[in-house]
Amino acid sequence: MPTVLILGGTGEARRLASVPLPGYRVISSLAGRVADPVLPAGEVRIGGFGGPDGLTAYLRAERVDVVVDATHPFAAQISANAASACASAGTRLLVLRRPGYAFGGHRVASLREAAALVPSLGERAFLTTGRQSLPYFRGLAMFLLLRCVDPPEDVPSNVEVRLDRGPFTVDGETALLREHRIDVLVTKDSGGALTAAKLDAAQALGIPVVVVDRPPVTPGVPVLSTVDEVRRLLLP
Ligand code: NAP
């Protein structure tokens, strides 16, 4: 039976794991970063593979025929590893990536650039860039509201942490921005309707938004934007 490995950690990956793919063995893989992950349906493995060589060995051992890289658009390391391992093992690779936000804002290429820009736009920033982004903003002498799924370590006194994994609504985001008197929002261009409510709320309140652009996808790898497109490609 042909085997599909879904590299996950996103809502799209969970949706793909839950649609019927008759005739396939489907394995979902999670990094194991979140303490209490929402598990996909079906067979799941958790933890890193040990770099591209470890992933190549896994693809061979499990006789994986197709890898669907459905990881977060900013999980650049695992995507690069997947491209390299699939090339080494001769395994077909597809990327499932939701479209980015149709939103201009102040576009920057990196978290470092975002941190440099934020103090010129406001005094109270809302960071929706994840726990691992905190080091980039650590040196800023301003109020920072950081929303993340798991608590970060070593939180400076000017940073308030709000643990929440959503889903978020425009009303909820508006109330949060008002409650903390936020005057600048920072987001990655993650895309997806579930996280877009903050953009609508910020726009309605006239709050500037700093958007960190996505890292590029490995050239030559087919990129699909919906679960249904992947399903249609896999099923005859
Ligand atoms: P990353 O920097 O691209 O990957 C770091 C390492 O984590 C990889 O080299 C790999 O370890 C392991 N890894 C990542 N995804 C994996 C997966 N699906 N299965 C097995 N191992 C995986 O990743 P990240 O940005 O830390 O994100 C970690 C996970 O969280 C990803 O699965 C991603 O989809 C999800 N996520 C990330 C973000 C974000 O903003 N970055 C947001 C939401 C969800 P080895 O080298 O040992 O194989």
Please state the pTM of the whole predicted model: 0.91
d(CA 15, CA 27): 13
Ligand 1 geometric centre to CA of 210 (Å): 23
Report the Cα–Cα distance between both ends of the chain, in Å, rounded.
Answer: 15
Query: How does residue 111 score in pLDDT terms, banded at 50, 70 and 90?
Result: very high
Ligand 1 geometric centre to CA of 136 (Å): 19
Return the amino acid letter for 210.
V
Mean confidence (pLDDT) of the chain: 96
118 pLDDT exceeds 90? yes
Query: How does residue 207 score in pLDDT terms, banded at 50, 70 and 90?
Result: very high
Ligand 1 geometric centre to CA of 75 (Å): 5
Residues with CB under 6 A from ligand 1: 7-10, 29-31, 33, 48-51, 54-55, 71-72, 74-78, 81, 130
The backbone torsions φ and ψ at residue 183, rounded to the nearest 5 degrees and listed phi first, read: -120, 5
Query: How does residue 201 score in pLDDT terms, banded at 50, 70 and 90?
Result: very high
Instruction: Report the pLDDT averaged over residues 38-45.
Output: 96
Ligand 1 geometric centre to CA of 48 (Å): 8
- In ligand 1, which atom is closest to the CA atom of 13? 34
d(CA 131, CA 28): 24
- In ligand 1, which atom is closest to the CA atom of 49? 48
Pocket probe mutation, ligand 1, options 77, 132, 146, 213, max atoms within 8 Å of Cβ? 77
CA angle, corner 183, sides to 128 and 192, nearest 5? 35
d(CA 173, CA 232): 36
Pocket probe mutation, ligand 1, options 30, 55, 71, max atoms within 8 Å of Cβ? 71
| Bridge partner list, 6 | 28, 68
Find the helix packing angle between 76-89 and 51-61, rounded to 10°: 50
220 pLDDT exceeds 80? yes
Ligand 1 geometric centre to CA of 175 (Å): 31
* Cβ-proximal residues to 88 (8 Å cutoff; 6+ apart), any chain: 52, 56
- In ligand 1, which atom is closest to the CA atom of 72? 34
194 pLDDT exceeds 90? no
Ligand 1 geometric centre to CA of 24 (Å): 24
Ligand 1 geometric centre to CA of 207 (Å): 31
Question: Residue 217 has what DSSP assignment?
Answer: P
The answer to whether the CB of 183 falls within 8 A of the CB of 122 is: yes
Query: Model confidence over 143-181: pLDDT tens digits?
Result: 999 999 999 999 999 999 999 988 899 999 999 999 999
Query: How does residue 195 score in pLDDT terms, banded at 50, 70 and 90?
Result: confident
Instruction: Report the pLDDT averaged over residues 16-37.
Output: 95
Burial of 113 (0-12, 13-18, 19+ CB in 10 A): middle
192 pLDDT exceeds 90? no
